[in-house]
Amino acid sequence: MNGKTRREKERVARRKQILAAARVVFSRKGYHHSTLEEIARKAQLGKGTTYWYFSGKAELFLAVLEGVIDEQLLKVKQAASEKADCRSRIEGIAREQLEHFAKNQFLTRILSSEVVFKTQEMKRRMKRSIDERYAVYTELVEDVLREGISRREIRRVDVKKMSHVLLSVLHSLVYYWHIKEIKPRPAEDARMVCDLVFEGLER
Amino acid sequence: MNGKTRREKERVARRKQILAAARVVFSRKGYHHSTLEEIARKAQLGKGTTYWYFSGKAELFLAVLEGVIDEQLLKVKQAASEKADCRSRIEGIAREQLEHFAKNQFLTRILSSEVVFKTQEMKRRMKRSIDERYAVYTELVEDVLREGISRREIRRVDVKKMSHVLLSVLHSLVYYWHIKEIKPRPAEDARMVCDLVFEGLER
Amino acid sequence: MNGKTRREKERVARRKQILAAARVVFSRKGYHHSTLEEIARKAQLGKGTTYWYFSGKAELFLAVLEGVIDEQLLKVKQAASEKADCRSRIEGIAREQLEHFAKNQFLTRILSSEVVFKTQEMKRRMKRSIDERYAVYTELVEDVLREGISRREIRRVDVKKMSHVLLSVLHSLVYYWHIKEIKPRPAEDARMVCDLVFEGLER
Amino acid sequence: MNGKTRREKERVARRKQILAAARVVFSRKGYHHSTLEEIARKAQLGKGTTYWYFSGKAELFLAVLEGVIDEQLLKVKQAASEKADCRSRIEGIAREQLEHFAKNQFLTRILSSEVVFKTQEMKRRMKRSIDERYAVYTELVEDVLREGISRREIRRVDVKKMSHVLLSVLHSLVYYWHIKEIKPRPAEDARMVCDLVFEGLER
DNA sequence: TATGAATGAGGTTTCATTCAT
DNA sequence: AATGAATGAAACCTCATTCAT
């Protein structure tokens, strides 16, 4: 039982090692300019070794992506489950998300747009993988909004669309930080977004 | 006068021909999966001919990008100059923009995120090129907002940030359409965004 | 008679113009790194025009080469026909040659070695062209040496080989100038070569 | 100890294999008409493999060149260190050199003249590489000459220039062999050159 | 005649993936 | 399991030559 477990543990450790290295490299250079050579070197492993853990570059990229999103989901879940009024919880979610985006800025941008895969097969897999996680996320936000509506803290809105719009605004702030070369300020920006979304422009 | 003009005209026509083909291919496949071979074939020209008009793949891509943004700017300008109240004009801008995004969906996504260039030199050129156009765009929106403030149609806000947030929301809707595989409805979505932005969630 | 002659003259002038430009470019960059584009531009003509005068790059190169050698032969002939003793005339020939080499340094080096042509056909033509001119040159030197022998100014030697060796030494000085980045001193070097060849090292 | 050495040995062997193939191809076709495709095929390796050992065509060429010169230097050193009088040793050096030239005729010609590299960087590297080796060579000859002078076997001459002239004469004989399509006779030609250089033409 | 535009063969290089050890 | 070496498809780019005007 011990020998096998040891092996098992080592395998998991190696996987993490590779994923960590890959995350850094993909983040810095985007998918196409990253090479397995560099990733393997950074993970202090031979190039061939990565193929024992991931069936190829595409698979590895997908795994990195899923890891990044899962980490984020975890934090967002915590923020959503806080005992507080609707607005505070939304602001909390926004803050967590922006913090996470700030840490994984470039990767987030790849996620949202780089045309990574050539084969339809992989494109579909990537889409499915992101969709699943995205659904979990929007459900969380929807629940918070729904509760807010039932508590009469906010007015009746299409919670589906609104939950997405919220994510969108946050998401696009990353782009703003990037093109304006601004140092990200997650807390501050989270508040601003909430002010806008809750109070609107009028009056 | 005619001989020279003829040549001149043909040159311009060819340029457009190549740009059109490139726009289609880049849109469909992203930067890295597009090949000059295919672009040239689609433009019904020899591979080498593209080099007569653009110094390389990178340059061609940049030209396509600039073309797309410029077209968009033109429409947004028209919408911004309408005689109407602040909210209607913002909604008009939003609608134009979403319509344009819908037509150039994939390209817009490349624009916002694909890590296209390897050399620092080209990255800088792309950034500068986008920044310049982006600045024109936000100024337009800022003016509309400022006027709205002075006319007391909307409350005092940071017009700079707000104009960006607006673009961001629109921009990110493209992403939403994409991952949800939704048929874009520019007019409807423009209204929704305006409702959110002007009225807020509260009450 | 006049119309035709005018045409004729213009043709010849254009040819010279192209040859002059080509000589400069080939000299600076060697055969393979020279482009017809650059040559035509330097000759202030369209790229296509060169094809009216030379059937292609190879032909043009050959013509340049022949021109350079012919100029040199002319000067060497003059030096060889001077009324003077054998040694003075040889020194004169050497000086003329070195001066010419100095002016056409890089071209001389291409001449002697660059593998210019790919087809056997062109290689043969180049060889024949050079051989013919080379033969004229060595005959000149041989005559001077033979006369020197008959006048008992120098000892009996294989004049054929010796005439070549003389050319060789001169030729290789160009290489020496080049790798040592020395400013050519034709007169001085001609004297040195003569000293060596006539007096030898011994005693 | 064995495992590592095995790898090491194989690497060295492959390098030699590639260098050998490259030497043959470069010799036959010159730098520009040689393709990595052909070199790899001749080395019975894949095209990409050469890049594992040499960073590119230019680098490979430089390595071939250095190899050829180094082999030659080795032989010349041996000839220079013979116990004998100055003239015999010079003749020995000349013979060795001519033999080597005969074997690497075409490559020697590329070396001396083909404009191989386009970038200033590579030109400089090639120059430096050749210069270093050339310096070793001329020093050897200079030493022999200096000793000859001090032993009063030859008269006082500029040993620096003379050592170069000697190399030049030898070098240019390769050219002679080539254009006259003569079968090289290293021993005989070495003697002739010595006769000329030591006895001179006079008397 | 003169030319600028068009062409595509041909070359170099990169790198994901495979494989023998 | 781990690896470094091997592979070759694929892509970009250059430029001699052709050609319509």
- Domain coordinates of chain B in residue numbers? 1-54, 62-199
* Mean pLDDT, chain D, integer: 86
pLDDT at site C201:
61
pLDDT in tens, D101-158: 888 877 776 666 566 788 888 888 888 888 888 889 889 999 999 999 999 998 888 8
Identify the CATH assignment for A1-54 out of 3.90.470.20, 1.10.10.60, 1.10.287.90, 3.90.230.10: 1.10.10.60
- Fold classification of D57-199 is Tetracycline Repressor; domain 2 (1.10.357)
* Contact between residue D166 and residue D154 where contact means Cβ atoms under 8 Å apart: no
Question: A145 CB contacts (<8 Å, ≥6 apart)?
Answer: A86, A90, A154, A157, A159, A162, A163
| Chain position carrying tokens 């809707």 | B173
Q: Do B175 and A115 touch (CB under 8 A)?
A: no
| Residue D121 CA distance to nucleotide F3 C1' (Å) | 35
The arithmetic mean of pLDDT across residues D46-61, rounded, is 95
pLDDT at site A110:
65
- C129 or D39, which is more confident? D39
Q: Is residue D174 very low, low, confident or very high in pLDDT (cuts 50, 70, 90)?
A: confident
Which strand F nucleotides have any atom less than 7 A from protein CB atoms? 1-21
CA distance A112 to B179: 9
Which of C164, C172, C175, C178 to substitute to test the interface with D, most D CBs within 10 Å? C172
Separation in Å, CA of D112 to nearest CA in chain C: 7
Question: D40 CB contacts (<8 Å, ≥6 apart)?
Answer: D18, D21, D46, D47, D49, D50
Nearest to D188 by CA among D166, D171, D173, D167: D173
Nearest to D96 by CA among D54, D140, D127: D140
| Residue C129 CA distance to nucleotide F14 C1' (Å) | 30
**Largest pairwise CA distance in chain A:** 70
The HSE-up count of residue D178 (CA atoms within 13 Å, CB side) is 26
| Residue A88 three-state SS | helix
Q: Do B112 and A192 touch (CB under 8 A)?
A: no
Element (DSSP H or E) covering residue B177 = helix B159-180
Q: Do B106 and A112 touch (CB under 8 A)?
A: no
pLDDT (tens, 9 = 90+) of chain B, 203 residues, equals 454 577 888 899 999 999 999 999 998 888 999 999 999 999 999 999 999 999 999 999 999 989 998 998 999 999 999 999 999 999 999 999 999 888 887 676 666 556 678 888 888 888 888 888 888 988 999 999 999 999 999 888 888 878 877 877 787 777 777 767 778 899 998 998 888 788 776 65
Separation in Å, CA of A47 to nearest CA in chain B: 22
Contacts of C130 in chain D (CB under 8 A): 179
Question: D166 CB contacts (<8 Å, ≥6 apart)?
Answer: D90, D94, D141, D193, D197
pLDDT at site A115:
67
pLDDT at site B112:
58
Q: Do B200 and A203 touch (CB under 8 A)?
A: no
Does residue A47 reach within 7 angstroms of strand E, measured from its CB? yes
CA distance B110 to B105: 9
Cβ atoms < 10 Å from Cβ of B4 = 8
CA distance C147 to C141: 10
| Chain position carrying tokens 């041989």 | C142
pLDDT at site A198:
84
Question: C134 CB contacts (<8 Å, ≥6 apart)?
Answer: D179
Does residue A82 reach within 7 angstroms of strand F, measured from its CB? no
Which region among C108-112, D36-40, D100-104 has the lowest average model confidence (pLDDT)?
A: C108-112
Minimum CA–CA partner of B129 in chain A: A179
Q: State the alpha helices, DSSP H only, in chain A.
A: 2-33, 36-42, 50-53, 57-80, 86-103, 105-113, 120-150, 159-180, 186-199
pLDDT in tens, A135-176: 898 899 999 999 999 998 888 888 887 887 787 778 777 777
Nucleotide nearest to C11 (CA to C1'): E1
Does residue D117 reach within 7 angstroms of strand F, measured from its CB? no
| Residue B154 three-state SS | strand
pLDDT in tens, C30-52: 899 999 999 999 999 999 999 99
pLDDT at site D3:
47
pLDDT in tens, D63-78: 998 999 899 899 999 9
* Contact between residue A115 and residue B110 where contact means Cβ atoms under 8 Å apart: yes
| Residue D125 CA distance to nucleotide F21 C1' (Å) | 48
pLDDT at site B1:
45
pLDDT at site D109:
66
Nucleotide nearest to B13 (CA to C1'): E5
Does residue C52 reach within 7 angstroms of strand F, measured from its CB? no
pLDDT in tens, C146-189: 999 999 898 888 888 788 778 777 877 777 777 677 788 999 98
| Residue B166 three-state SS | helix
Does residue B52 reach within 7 angstroms of strand E, measured from its CB? yes
| Residue C136 CA distance to nucleotide F19 C1' (Å) | 42
- Fold classification of C58-199 is Tetracycline Repressor; domain 2 (1.10.357)
- Fold classification of B62-199 is Tetracycline Repressor; domain 2 (1.10.357)
Structure tokens at C100: 């010419």
Does residue A49 reach within 7 angstroms of strand F, measured from its CB? yes
Contacts of C161 in chain D (CB under 8 A): 192
pLDDT at site C114:
62
Does residue A14 reach within 7 angstroms of strand F, measured from its CB? yes
Q: Is residue C115 very low, low, confident or very high in pLDDT (cuts 50, 70, 90)?
A: low
Q: Is residue D1 very low, low, confident or very high in pLDDT (cuts 50, 70, 90)?
A: very low
Q: Do A200 and B203 touch (CB under 8 A)?
A: no
Separation in Å, CA of C60 to nearest CA in chain D: 18
Residue B54, CA distances (Å) to B68, C58, D32 in order: 17, 29, 27
Residue at A131: amino acid letter: D
Sign of CA dihedral A133, A137, A142, A144: positive
Residue at A178: amino acid letter: H
Separation in Å, CA of D1 to nearest CA in chain C: 45
pLDDT at site D194:
86
Chains A and B touch (3+ CB pairs under 8 A): yes
| Residue A25 CA distance to nucleotide F10 C1' (Å) | 23
| Residue C47 CA distance to nucleotide E1 C1' (Å) | 13
Q: Do D197 and C198 touch (CB under 8 A)?
A: no
Which of B172, B179, B202 minimises the CB distance to A199? B202
Question: A150 CB contacts (<8 Å, ≥6 apart)?
Answer: none
Cβ atoms < 10 Å from Cβ of A121 = 10
| Chain position carrying tokens 């180094």 | D70
pLDDT at site A201:
60
Nucleotide nearest to A38 (CA to C1'): E15
| Residue D117 three-state SS | coil
Does residue A39 reach within 7 angstroms of strand E, measured from its CB? no
Q: State the alpha helices, DSSP H only, in D1-46.
A: 2-33, 36-42
| Residue D62 CA distance to nucleotide E11 C1' (Å) | 19
* Contact between residue A145 and residue A164 where contact means Cβ atoms under 8 Å apart: no
Residue at B70: amino acid letter: D
* Contact between residue C130 and residue D126 where contact means Cβ atoms under 8 Å apart: no
pLDDT (tens, 9 = 90+) of chain A, 203 residues, equals 555 688 888 899 999 999 999 999 998 888 999 999 999 999 999 999 999 999 999 999 999 989 988 998 999 999 999 999 999 999 999 999 899 888 887 677 666 556 678 888 888 888 888 888 888 988 999 999 999 999 988 888 888 878 877 877 787 777 777 767 778 899 998 998 888 788 876 65
Separation in Å, CA of A85 to nearest CA in chain B: 12
φ, ψ (nearest 5 deg) of residue D157:
-140, 165
Nearest to A160 by CA among A172, A149, A173: A149
The arithmetic mean of pLDDT across residues C117-132, rounded, is 85
pLDDT at site B102:
86
